[in-house]
Structure 1
Amino acid sequence: MDVAAEGPRTPAELFDLSGKVALVTGGSRGLGRAIALGYAAAGADVIVASRKLDACAAVAREVEAMGGRALAVAAHCGKWDEIERLVEASYDRFGKVDILVNNAGMSPAAPSSLETSEALFDKVIALNFKGPFRLSALVATRMKAAGGGSVISVSTTGALRPMPMFGPYAGSKAGLNAISVAFAQEFAPEVRFNVISPGGFYTDISKDWAEPGKEQPVLLKRFGYPGEIVTAALYFASDASSYTTGALLRVDGLGQV
């Protein structure tokens, strides 16, 4: 895209995803679902991936109700054979992927570093780091050959401010941040890689520790709602961020780290 040759465009034109295809992992709930529906509202067709097909299908129906095309795929995004099947299913259906969102992840607490089991460690690394590495490599290779694309990884401020009991989680997400910068260099200039670093959000998985209406220890005194991640996801997916790659955007209400 020759941005200079096109001249100025309106914000609506910059954020328009009409004709684009987005693949969102962990797209059946929480932030992933909000991003998937946000992309659909901007005109994109959406592939919704997670481990439970019925949950993916429910979001796919929401996308279709908004006028878009959708594909639900059950896949464990920490297993390379299932990732490869997900990629093939996506390209078989739509012929391309313009936007990839690595959102699937897990954040279990461990009783201590010493008591962290190898099984738990491996599960966290597989889903949060190893899987996105492989999925990004597969999709970005095709994006580059096709002439362009955007890859967005959903990380965490926990990777910037690690805490005890979440060492494997913080480490896996720090690794995700690092490979995003490495991939930004490898696949430039056609494919852009960027990271969203969320803080606390009110989702189904946070209901035990994040009660809406209760003051929280961040500058904005509350955690975020899923819809508040969408503008960041739209920015990185769209032409609005055409000159941004290898960047990390915190969406955490926190202030200075």
Structure 2
Amino acid sequence: MTDERTKPSLAPADLFDLSGKVALVTGGSRGLGREMVRAFATAGADLVIASRKAEACESVATEVRGLGRRALPVAAHVGCWEDLAGLTDAAYEEFGKVDVLVNNAGMSPLAPSSAETSEELFDKVIGVNFKGPFRLASLVGRRMAEAGGGSIINVSSSGALMPLPRFGPYAGAKAALNTLTTVFALEYGPTVRVNTISAGPFLTDVSKAWPEESRQRTRSAVGRPGQPEEIVGTALYLASDASSYTTGALIRVDGGLY
């Protein structure tokens, strides 16, 4: 029997290789999701790209195919329980497996005040940021465990760690998502790894609505918002064999916010 500690070490490039893997990314048609999709494809993975708009998913799927990988675009609303069953079935029917799941889709609308937050808005925010990732990780995580392993990455937010007024439902949902990481790491371990990326401010499409000051500077060690491609290193680490002994972890990718 081979002792795990005596296995030959892999070259760094091999550690991050995703050849033969299938990755499913929600919110994969733009922003951080699109950057992760492209990075995974470049590393050798085939992709399932999910978001609400079929045309946007197909556009990114075309990019993936241009990189020489297979791609399945699926229009699905993460906040809709039944859509996620359909998304899971479509992924397994096309590829027969999912090795990497990235719960990336989210929404963070700013309410006038907590008292003026409508029930409809509250339910939408909780649905996309918490209910959806719970359901999808439940469906895919179980199959991953039965197949012998996989990696689930929950994309959370610095808002869960440093919450601000008027973002109560969003901050609460992302804090709950952080807790889900621990729940699923224990439930689907030891073969399925589940981790959180706690993302700070990034200059994605959402940032176009920010004041110019917020687009230039942040209260952080780095002092600026992140570029979307700066999420890639952490995502590749968690998706690949490079993180074989990392599970139940929360990794801050926020420039050192304080």
Fold shared by both chains (TM-score > 0.5): yes
Deviations 1:223-246 (A, max 9, x none): 001100011000000000000000
Are 2:248 and 1:246 aligned? Answer: yes
**1:193–1:213 Cα change, 3 Å:** closer
User: Percent identity over the alignment?
Assistant: 61
In structure 2, give the amino acid aligned to 1:124: V
Aligned partner of 1:142 in structure 2 is 143
- Alpha-carbon distance, 1:69 to partner: 0.5
Aligned partner of 1:66 in structure 2 is 67
Distance in 2 (CA, whole Å) between partners of 1:102 and 1:2 is 34
Distance in 2 (CA, whole Å) between partners of 1:2 and 1:168 is 47
Aligned partner of 1:167 in structure 2 is 168
In structure 1, the gaps of 5 or more residues are none
Aligned partner of 2:200 in structure 1 is 199
- Alpha-carbon distance, 1:214 to partner: 2.4
The number of equivalent residue pairs is: 256
- Alpha-carbon distance, 1:194 to partner: 0.1
SS of the equivalent of 1:155 reads strand
Aligned partner of 1:125 in structure 2 is 126
- Alpha-carbon distance, 1:221 to partner: 1.7
SS of the equivalent of 1:176 reads helix
Could you tell me which of 235, 238, 245 is aligned with 1:236?
Answer: 238
1:40 and 1:68 in contact (8 A); partners too: yes
Are 2:27 and 1:26 aligned? Answer: yes
Deviations 1:76-121 (A, max 9, x none): 0111100000000000000000000000010001111111110000
1:202 and 1:210 in contact (8 A); partners too: no
Distance in 2 (CA, whole Å) between partners of 1:246 and 1:95 is 26
Distance in 1 (CA, whole Å) between partners of 2:115 and 2:107 is 20
SS of the equivalent of 2:246 reads coil
- Alpha-carbon distance, 1:4 to partner: 3.5
2:76 and 2:83 in contact (8 A); partners too: yes
Distance in 2 (CA, whole Å) between partners of 1:31 and 1:8 is 31
TM-score by length of 1: 0.96
- Alpha-carbon distance, 1:217 to partner: 2.5
Aligned partner of 2:97 in structure 1 is 96
In structure 1, give the amino acid aligned to 2:190: P
1:210 and 1:223 in contact (8 A); partners too: no
SS of the equivalent of 1:185 reads helix
Distance in 2 (CA, whole Å) between partners of 1:221 and 1:20 is 36
Are 2:116 and 1:115 aligned? Answer: yes
In structure 2, the gaps of 5 or more residues are none
1:215 and 1:222 in contact (8 A); partners too: yes
In structure 1, give the amino acid aligned to 2:75: A
SS of the equivalent of 2:223 reads coil
Distance in 2 (CA, whole Å) between partners of 1:69 and 1:3 is 33
- Alpha-carbon distance, 1:219 to partner: 1.8
Aligned partner of 1:217 in structure 2 is 219
